[in-house]
Every structure is written in C-alpha cells, then in structure tokens.
Structure 1
C-alpha cells in the first residue's frame, strides 16, 4: 500500500541523479522490466517507508518476501518499487546492492547488527565541547565508521563555548591520526564553511553522535531553515533529550545528501575487526614485534605493545580502550554465531513441519 503524502517531511522534486543514482545502479536495475520504479529510502516510520522517486516521494510498505527474509530497507538504500498506478499502490520488492553499510552492534541477544544507514560516503562524528568530548567514545565511533567503508570526519560542535577553541582538535589528536577534526558552532555558523569540502553534490553524509551535541541544529544550519526540532541541554550533565526520533535523509541546498540520526545511547562494535584495526594502527604495528602472533597484550611475555606502555611510547588508556573493544568484538561474534544456530534450527523446524503437513495431505 502506498500513500501520496510522505510522512517524514516534504516531497522533494529531485531527479534520481540528484539522489546519488549512478550508472552502476542503472545497470543493476536494468533486469527489472515492467511496472517497476527505482527510488531511495528517505526515512522509515514503523512499518512504512518514505521513498524518494524521480520527481517526487511516496510512502510504501515492503513485500512479504522481503519481510520473511528479514531484509528491511535502511535510510539511504536504493530500492525497487513494484508500481501499480491503477491499484494506487507501490511496494518495495528489492534492495539494490549497497556500496557501504553503516551499522552498530546489536544491544540485544540475537546477534544481529542494527543498520543505521546505507550507501554513505562520509560519516560526521559529531561531538561537543565540554563533557561530551570524550576520546574513548570517539574511538568507538571511529571503529564503526571505518568498518562501514565510509570516511570519518570528527566535528566538534559548540566550540564557541570553549576557553580555547583552537586546542579542541589537539585533545583528540592521539585517537584521530589522519582524521579531519573540525571545530564549529552550529548556532553562530562559525567554522561551518570548513565542512564544505565534504558536502559535494550527490554525496551522502551521515551524522552520528550523542543526544544534545547539536546534530539537528547543524542540519538546520546547513539547510538554511528549520527542518528539525531542537531542544536545550540539561545543565548538570550537558545532555539533551532525543528531539530526533527517526533517521531521515535531507537534500542540502548545495546538492549533498545528509542523514540525521537519533542520538545513540549505546554503540555496539559490531562483528568486524576492520574498524578496530583502522582505529588503532599504532597498536597493530607494535604487535608485529610481539613474541607470539596471537598475543592479546594482557601479560604475555615478550609483548611489544606492553613494552611500549611501560616506556611511555603508548598511552595506557589507549591500550585499555583497544582491549575493551576487542573483548566486545569477541562477544558480538559469539552472539552472531548463536544467532545463526538459532536461525538454522528454526529453518529446519519449519522444513519438518512442512514435511509432516505433506504426509498428512497424502494420507487423506
């Protein structure tokens, strides 16, 4: 079922090319002949999705086949719609291959990662001057951003509230080697122009960060008008309430596409080590000198990493953060294995039920 009016905001009169559609998408979509349309997911509201199509927007559901397979479109996905104008309906029937996938580890017990957004070129990790400026949290965000395949950029908002705004980037230098760190003020607009090189037309940027760091204020600044609700932060902990409740894709005036996300209370590390490896390159380089190839850097003899901590070359907090994320990765991988086993058992249980039903039918 489809509805003509989008639920997540206004209808956008953009072309597919404006939305990031490429020749590769065109080749992939070419196999669909008949009443099919391509589109890009702008947001999800419970059981329906707003999809931007060539020149407009529709609100649709997904096919039963996708639902049974557990394939739910994410914001930023390019999808295939079965378009039936006579019936007045459109339905998502397929998801085109994803260039990148930004997800966080599940906080539940089923081992499934939670998709945040798809087909992202750049991730703006938004933090704020003050208590939210936490190196350990940034390391975690960097790990999941790197694992997605998108390039991370650290944006320090509310820099006008700091005694020394120029020193803010230096506070993160040890955890953000080679990563752009840009202090801004979304309220005053100071420094926002420095984000310009990452806002090229038809590129997609995702915003992530804690509640109250000013992601929605930044969206409003970049859109040149209020499109997202904002709220004040609490004085005692400098946190805000979740004014953004759904993930939503916006088309900026300059042509870039930006996905705003609700504040993340918990960020699991997921089930891939690629992000951790890219976030702690100096530890992996030191590990090549360890006596044992499977050294965990937790007391083994001949550990080059621990030696670096002992002589002050490597900060102890940095190693502890690496250990913590690696332990969490092992736990997430174990959960994923358990989830696969449960899924396989469920599948075989379904096959057994089908076989029994067939035997009963034949016996009649």
Structure 2
C-alpha cells in the first residue's frame, strides 16, 4: 500500500508515548523483530487505514491473515506494521490487546457488534438543548459506555439556546446518577473550559451522539482551528445531516487524543449487559428489597421497584427504560445461543419467548 499520502492521519511531531503507548503495549510488541513498527490507527477509509507512528503517519492495508480471521482494526487500536519504506508499503499484520472496546449492537445482524473505538479512557456523550435532549437515549449510551470500561461524561451542547441550562443538567442527572453532566456552547466557547479535567495528556476520549448535536463543532473548538466540516440543523426538529463520515483520531494541543464519530441514528445495546448495573444503580439497589430474587418488576407480589414507582420515588419512565433494555439484552443472548431462523429476502424470524416479545415491542 502506497504510504506517501495519508488520507486523514495528519503529519505530527509526536512520539508513540504521546499517543498513549504504555509499557504494556511495549511488552506485547516485544516479540516482533525486524521490519516491524508499532502504530496507532487514526482512521479507516474503505480498505485502507491511516496509522500514526513515531513522528509521522502512513497509509496501510491489512494482511490476508487478519482479513481471513475477520479481524479489522478500529480507530484507536494499537497495531503492528510490516513497514517496508524502500518498497513504499506498510501492512497491518497484528492488533495488540485492547484496554477498552467501545461497541454497539448492529440492528438486523445476528450477534454482530460494531466497534466504534478502541483503547479509550473517557466517552463524551454529546447531546444538545432542544429536541435531541432525551434521557432514555442517554441511558442507552451510558449502558454501552459503561460496558466498554471507559468513563462516561455527558455534555449538553447548545446550552446557550436554553432558558435555564441548569434545569436541563438536573433533568439528565436524574437519569444518570453519579455521572458528570456539563452544559456548554461549542460555538461561543461558554463552559468548554469545564472539560479540561477530562482532557489530560495521553488520554483518549471518544465523542458519540446524534447527528446535529455539535460534535464536529466541539472538535474544532478544542483543536483551536477548523478540522471538521459542520452543518446547520433543521429548524423544525434540530436534526442535522452526517457531516462526519469517518471515525477519526485527533491530537489536541494539550496532548489529549479525541476520536470523533459519525452521528448514530440508532443505538443498539448489543451485548452490553455489564453496563446495565452502572447505568441503573438506583433500580438494582431497590431490587434488593424485592420478595423474589428473580423478580422482573412486572407485577410480581412484593416488588420493591414497583412500590417505588407507585409512591413516586422512582420515575415510571426510568423503570420502563430499564425493562426495555433488559428485554433487548435477553433477545441478544437468545440470538447468540439459539439464533434466528433466516427466511427468504434476508428476513429473520425470532425463536424463543423473549425474542418474540422484543419483536412485538419493536413492531416487527
């Protein structure tokens, strides 16, 4: 693969240590000798990847062995390159172990997940004042963020358009106990300095959120220059088109690394069961008082969670969101265990009680 013209990995003066490289990565790479160099994936463009190495960026393909195994590098991955500058080629031959792996379920594909970013420390869940502000959607983002092992932070962009930004923050804080909620305006810069504690050097942050919430504008603000195209949202629903079309890693002036992502139209929960406990700690704490240990909080006698809804301690919408995500997780588990029966024209027929229930819930 010709390496002379990187497509999105900018030339840079940084060493691998500045890109988050640690002793653990060095140990994993130590078995390679000869014409091999380590690097970090900055973006993927169809069949090639831009990889940051010491002091520069190269464009590389992947080896046939990785392709046959279905192992494709994600943005943020640390990789091993067979580097042959005399031939003008670089090839990714291995992916080093991932510290964290941020993925979402892919609708319509059996047991499949889409890796959004790898080796991230913090997830900025970006929403915006207006129609996009939705506590239920934030709960879904939180579940997959917690499951990844990264620390979530909620950002309310365009807060200057709200009459009372503090009220918006309180609304989301009730749906995300213990998670920082930070109102900002990426356009004016108001409140952006409150993100500084989450942007130390050599840490990696992934931005996720719907189209039109201002992720690219925030990147431009943090970079101090325009590196991402932006567009206006529609007046009637505050939604925008996908100005970001590829996932890309940027190096901020302060030394933090940030991965921008295209807007997510649908947030599949995938197999993020590990993130449910951290997303709904209030419900799980209440559940300890239920009469039955396997209570589903759907009308069983002695249900402490339903009692909390009845007396107003727990919002009914929050319980409904919890139950919806739990049903979706059960559906994903059934897909993994017994699968779906594939019909003609690439349609799927659910197998099992919970799969059928979820199918009805989704209006399939």
Whether the aligned pair in 1 keeps the contact of 2:248 and 2:260 (CA below 8 Å) is yes
Secondary structure of the corresponding residue to residue 123 of structure 1: strand
Question: Counterpart of 2:209?
Answer: 209
CA RMSD of aligned residues (A): 1.5
Q: Deviations over 1:219-270 (max 9, x none)?
A: 0000000000000000111000000000000000100000000000011112
Relative to the length of structure 1, the TM-score reads 0.91
Q: CA deviation at 1:84?
A: 1.9
Unaligned runs of 5+ in 2: 343-364
Question: Counterpart of 1:70?
Answer: 70
Q: How does 1:17-32 map to 2 (within 5 A)?
A: 17-32=17-32
Question: Counterpart of 1:12?
Answer: 12
Looking at structure 2, the residues matched to 158 and 42 of structure 1 have their Cα atoms a distance apart, in angstroms, of 28
Q: CA deviation at 1:14?
A: 1.4
Looking at structure 1, the residues matched to 85 and 59 of structure 2 have their Cα atoms a distance apart, in angstroms, of 14
Question: Counterpart of 1:356?
Answer: none
Unaligned runs of 5+ in 1: 343-364
Whether the aligned pair in 2 keeps the contact of 1:2 and 1:91 (CA below 8 Å) is no
Question: Counterpart of 2:221?
Answer: 221
Looking at structure 1, the residues matched to 26 and 340 of structure 2 have their Cα atoms a distance apart, in angstroms, of 34
Question: Counterpart of 1:55?
Answer: 55
Question: Counterpart of 2:42?
Answer: 42
Secondary structure of the corresponding residue to residue 194 of structure 1: helix
Question: Counterpart of 1:126?
Answer: 126
Whether the aligned pair in 1 keeps the contact of 2:35 and 2:83 (CA below 8 Å) is yes
Q: How does 1:174-189 map to 2 (within 5 A)?
A: 174-189=174-189
Q: CA deviation at 1:335?
A: 2.3
Question: Counterpart of 1:252?
Answer: 252
Q: Deviations over 1:63-96 (max 9, x none)?
A: 1111111111000000000112232211001000
Q: How does 1:283-322 map to 2 (within 5 A)?
A: 283-322=283-322
Question: Counterpart of 1:325?
Answer: 325
Secondary structure of the corresponding residue to residue 111 of structure 2: coil
Looking at structure 2, the residues matched to 239 and 252 of structure 1 have their Cα atoms a distance apart, in angstroms, of 27
Looking at structure 1, the residues matched to 193 and 83 of structure 2 have their Cα atoms a distance apart, in angstroms, of 41
Q: Deviations over 1:96-150 (max 9, x none)?
A: 0000000001112221111000000000000001111111011111111101000
Secondary structure of the corresponding residue to residue 160 of structure 2: helix
Relative to the length of structure 2, the TM-score reads 0.91
Secondary structure of the corresponding residue to residue 259 of structure 1: strand
